[in-house]
Amino acid sequence: MRIEPWVFLLLLLPVQAILGQPVWNVPIGDFVGSLDISADGSYVVASSLYIEAGVGRICLFDKNGTVVWDYIANFPISTAISASGKHIVVGVRSEGIFYLSREGELIWSYRFGDFYFDVQISSDGNSVAVSTSSGNVYYFNGEGKKLWSYRFSSWFIPISMSSDGSLVAVGGSYEVMLLSRLGEILWNSEVDCEVQKISISPDGTYIMATSGNSIYFLDSRGEILWSSEVEGEILSIAFSSDGNSVAVTSILKEGSENKGVVSFYNSYGELLWSYDIGSWAVVSISSDDPMEIML
Amino acid sequence: MGGERLHVLDKSGGLLLNLSVGEAPIHVISLSADANSVVIGTGGDLIFFSLEEMLRQHPPKIEAKPTAFEKFFASVSLIITLSLIGTLFLILKRKIS
């Protein structure tokens, strides 16, 4: 049976449902911090924390739940896996980033000493972008060579990398920037907010930046195509693979009640539909072209 | 209470699945690009689902859209039913008076 290709997922507090039987369920610590899955679902990388012991763990699983490798790490914060699952990048607090092979070999690492990192990896694993809590953005190639870095602010700023690694969108204070693989600032557009979340479409055609309840949708030349507001606070955003649709989850607190909604827009800013989810939610969208995952 | 759930929707907003996935809150999620697999983090557990398998076990109930003929037939049926009710009402009214 072929699944509807644009299927996307929401986590939420529920109403009536069937009991989902997982393929596997593995305890990996007190708290799962981050995770990522390869394009065809063959590999899953996850980081976790053991709170009392004050240590973390990074694991790679195959689709059967078998541990491929398992490392103890100081405080892993963020993880990302390439589309094929051949390369994994992990950000560890106060240490830096670690670039590993599927077999668990450490290929290269880079020390930062910052408190927090967001790591992104291109589909082919040949590009890595890192945003740190001191407001720096770094860009590495697959051999660990630092191609460029910029200091954008004194605090953490959100970044998002296109699928091929050729573009990096950066959300700053009242601005959105787009940088090339070579570190050129292609453009810088003003927005009316401190950007809290940013996402670039896989092909780099569109960029969405959000803050609070505001959405800004820009094209690849930095023009704001549309802006909108949702009720409540935006929790997560995700592009479809062709960039022509975006999903936004938000939550509105009304007294002791939480009203969660996922809103689905097209690239013209038209609200195609919304779905009431009752509580907070995060969203993930699949590819709309199954052939893409074979790359 | 009641656990957390995983909702699967298609691009038109149609709900395909609504899964109960346990008691602990779900805080991280990743869906494979081919939409066949999803992994979630709930508390300290890492849980992997095969959406392909879940949809095979629990196929979504999709209501077929009525054809033009079915719509016409439904309209005619409604008109006939209302006419019959009206006629019966008039007959009853005459008999009472």
Name the residue with higher pLDDT: A295 or B20. Answer: B20
Chain A residues in contact with B36 (beta carbon < 8 A): 3, 40-41
Q: Give the dihedral sign, CA B18/A25/A122/A128.
A: positive
pLDDT at A14: 39
Q: Which of B6, B7, B28 sits opposite A35 (nearest CB)?
A: B28
pLDDT at B19: 81
Tokens at A155, concatenated: 């605090």
Reply yes or no on whether the pLDDT at B66 is more than 80.
no
Tokens at A43, concatenated: 């590999």
Cα–Cα distance, A248 to A254 (Å, whole number): 19
What are the residue boundaries of the structural domains of chain A, listed by start? 39-247
pLDDT at A279: 67
pLDDT at A294: 19
pLDDT at B6: 84
pLDDT at A11: 43
Q: Which of residues 20-79 of B touch A (CB under 8 A)?
A: 20-21, 26-59
Cα–Cα distance, A254 to A213 (Å, whole number): 15
The average confidence (pLDDT) of chain B is: 82
Place of tokens 């629990």: B58
CATH number for region A39-247 = 2.130.10.10
Give the pLDDT band (50/70/90) at residue B62: low
pLDDT at A54: 86
Reply yes or no on whether the pLDDT at B1 is more than 60.
no
- What are the CA-CA distances from residue A242 to residues A202, A218, A290 (Å)? 7, 15, 12
pLDDT at B74: 85
- What are the CA-CA distances from residue B46 to residues A120, A160, B1, B21 (Å)? 21, 25, 20, 11
User: Which of A134, A122, A84, A126 has its CA nearest to residue A107?
Assistant: A126
Reply yes or no on whether the pLDDT at B34 is more than 90.
no
pLDDT at A18: 58
pLDDT at A10: 46
The 8-class DSSP code of residue A256 comes to: T
Reply yes or no on whether the pLDDT at B46 is more than 60.
yes
Residue B15, min C-alpha distance to chain A (Å): 9
| Nearest residue on chain A to B45, alpha-carbon basis | A27
Place of tokens 């809150």: B25
pTM: 0.81
Per DSSP, chain B holds a count of helices (H) and strands (E) of 2, 5
Taking the CA atoms of residue A251, residue A256, residue A257 and residue A258 in that order, the dihedral angle to the nearest 10 degrees is 20
Q: What is the pLDDT along chain A (295 residues), one digit of tens a residue?
A: 444 444 544 443 333 345 668 899 999 999 999 999 999 999 999 999 998 888 999 999 999 999 999 999 888 889 999 999 999 999 998 889 999 999 999 999 999 878 778 899 999 999 999 999 999 999 999 999 999 999 988 788 999 999 999 999 999 889 999 999 999 999 999 998 899 999 999 999 999 999 999 999 999 999 999 999 998 899 889 898 888 889 998 888 877 777 888 899 999 999 999 888 766 666 677 665 432 221 1
CB contact under 8 A, B20 and A13: no
Cα–Cα distance, B73 to A259 (Å, whole number): 41
CB contact under 8 A, B44 and A33: no
Q: Which of residues 66-105 of A touch B (CB under 8 A)?
A: 83
pLDDT at B64: 55
Reply yes or no on whether the pLDDT at B35 is more than 80.
yes
Chain A residues in contact with B3 (beta carbon < 8 A): 14
Give the pLDDT band (50/70/90) at residue B18: confident
Interface test with A, best of B1, B23, B48 (most A CBs within 10 A): B48
| Nearest residue on chain B to A30, alpha-carbon basis | B44
Cα–Cα distance, B48 to B28 (Å, whole number): 12
Cα–Cα distance, A153 to A130 (Å, whole number): 14
Q: Give the pairing type, strands A31-37 and A43-50.
A: antiparallel
> Rg of the Cα trace of chain A?
19
